[in-house]
């Protein structure tokens, strides 16, 4: 995703250069939104008296066109390679959320990897650097800005996607197309998250929080709902039935070495056993673990 992020950044810079050139020469678009079809038609109507200015203007337009073509080409290549990816179901499922289109979904999943390694959504939020810093001592609680650890790319696309929750809850046409064929559980989580985050954004702004702070809080909650959807659609690990919980340990008979099963690997954890009477035994349906007394 590094090449895609670079291409998008170059395209944004090219657009900014063109708009700055127009403003320097007193050309301002009368419409509301830039880079729409109407905006591009307006660009084609601009003419400059000096030939040097016209050449520079056309060069800026060509730079924008080339950068946008590169972004489209990279997006097409990513879409072509996606079906062979083991995490493709997660990429498809999290697009049920508002503000998470194809590129945002691929970026987040590529930066996070396997969502099953996070036991709770709070761990994912902390991994992405979206949790506040802590400078507390005793009874005094001081919290600052977010930690900004982990992937800055994933954090940036989530914060950009969180701006869509300023509006009223709704499912737009593009979102309906993305949700087609997705599990009902993923759809329900996405709608529940949209209802909550739209309501929370309004509440934070009404309480006097700056819009940037409120939007970052929404991005943090987006990470939590993305985690929930990923848990819903991620297939169970082939070795999950054989993998024991860390509390379920196997003990070598007559030895002081305790073994913990971790997927395909079984690593020894040396630990002194509690010295208790032979009468105390831990027994279940399959194993009797004996704790020998001191000789």
- DSSP string computed for 118-174: -SSHHHHHHHTT-SEEE--BTTB--EEEE---S-HHHHHHHHHHHGGGGS-----HH
Number of domains in the chain: 3
Rounded Cα gap, residues 144 and 133, in angstroms: 5
Domain presence at residue 142: yes
The number of C-alpha atoms within 13 Å of 247 and in the hemisphere containing its C-beta is 0
* Whether the model pTM is above 0.95: no
Domain presence at residue 188: yes
Picking from 82, 111, 130, the residue at the C-terminal end of a domain is 82
Rounded Cα gap, residues 58 and 132, in angstroms: 46
- Domain enclosing residue 285, as ranges: 250-289
Domain presence at residue 244: no
Both 32 and 155 in a single domain?
Answer: no
Quote the distance between the C-alpha of residue 90 and its chain's center: 11
Nearest to 4 by CA among 198, 187, 153, 159: 153
Both 72 and 98 in a single domain?
Answer: no
Beta bridge mates, 73: none
Both 227 and 254 in a single domain?
Answer: no
Residues 6+ apart with CB under 8 A from 98: 161, 164, 165, 171, 172, 175, 190, 194
Both 171 and 221 in a single domain?
Answer: yes
Rounded Cα gap, residues 197 and 158, in angstroms: 13
Domain presence at residue 283: yes
Rounded Cα gap, residues 165 and 223, in angstroms: 14
Residues 86, 90, 95: CA angle, nearest 5 degrees:
140
Both 58 and 105 in a single domain?
Answer: no
What DSSP character marks residue 117?
Answer: G
Both 62 and 94 in a single domain?
Answer: no
**What pLDDT is stored for residue 253 in this prediction?**
40
Both 207 and 95 in a single domain?
Answer: yes
Domain presence at residue 238: no
Both 216 and 259 in a single domain?
Answer: no
- Does residue 251 sit in helix, strand or coil? strand
Domain presence at residue 294: no
Both 94 and 191 in a single domain?
Answer: yes
Picking from 57, 82, 107, the residue at the C-terminal end of a domain is 82
Both 151 and 103 in a single domain?
Answer: yes
Per-10-residue mean pLDDT of the chain, 295 residues long, equals 81 95 94 93 94 95 95 92 92 94 93 93 95 88 89 93 94 91 93 96 96 96 96 67 38 38 34 35 38 42
Domain presence at residue 243: no
Q: Answer whether 229's CB lies under 8 Å from 93's CB.
A: yes
Report H helices in the chain.
2-24, 37-44, 51-81, 88-94, 102-112, 121-127, 152-162, 173-179, 184-206, 211-233
Both 229 and 89 in a single domain?
Answer: yes
Both 34 and 62 in a single domain?
Answer: yes
**What pLDDT is stored for residue 4 in this prediction?**
78
């Amino acid at each position: 995703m590094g090449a895609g992020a670079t291409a998008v950044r170059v395209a944004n810079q090219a657009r900014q250069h063109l708009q700055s050139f127009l403003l320097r020469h007193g050309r301002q678009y009368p419409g509301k939104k830039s880079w729409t079809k109407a905006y591009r038609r307006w660009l084609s109507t601009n003419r400059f008296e000096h030939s040097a200015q016209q050449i520079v203007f056309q060069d800026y337009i060509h730079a924008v066109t080339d950068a946008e073509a590169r972004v489209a080409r990279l997006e097409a290549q990513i879409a072509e390679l996606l079906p062979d990816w083991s995490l493709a179901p997660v990429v498809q499922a999290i697009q049920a959320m508002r503000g998470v289109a194809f590129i945002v979904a691929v970026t987040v999943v590529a930066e996070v990897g396997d969502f099953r390694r996070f036991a709770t959504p709070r761990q994912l939020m902390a991994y992405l650097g979206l949790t506040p810093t802590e400078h507390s001592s005793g009874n005094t609680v001081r919290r600052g800005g977010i930690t900004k650890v982990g992937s800055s790319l994933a954090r940036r696309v989530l914060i950009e996607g969180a701006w869509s929750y300023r509006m009223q809850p709704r499912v737009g046409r593009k979102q309906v197309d993305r949700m087609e064929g997705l599990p009902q559980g993923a759809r329900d989580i996405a709608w529940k998250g949209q209802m909550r985050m739209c309501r929370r954004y309004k509440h934070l702004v009404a309480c006097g929080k700056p819009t940037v702070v409120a939007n970052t809080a929404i991005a943090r909650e987006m990470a939590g709902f993305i985690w929930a959807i990923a848990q819903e659609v991620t297939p169970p690990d082939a070795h999950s039935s054989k993998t024991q919980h860390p509390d379920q340990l196997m003990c070598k008979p007559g030895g002081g070495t305790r073994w913990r099963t971790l997927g395909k690997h079984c690593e020894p954890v040396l630990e002194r056993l509690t010295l208790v009477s032979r009468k105390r035994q831990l027994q279940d349906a399959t194993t009797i673990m004996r704790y020998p007394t001191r000789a």
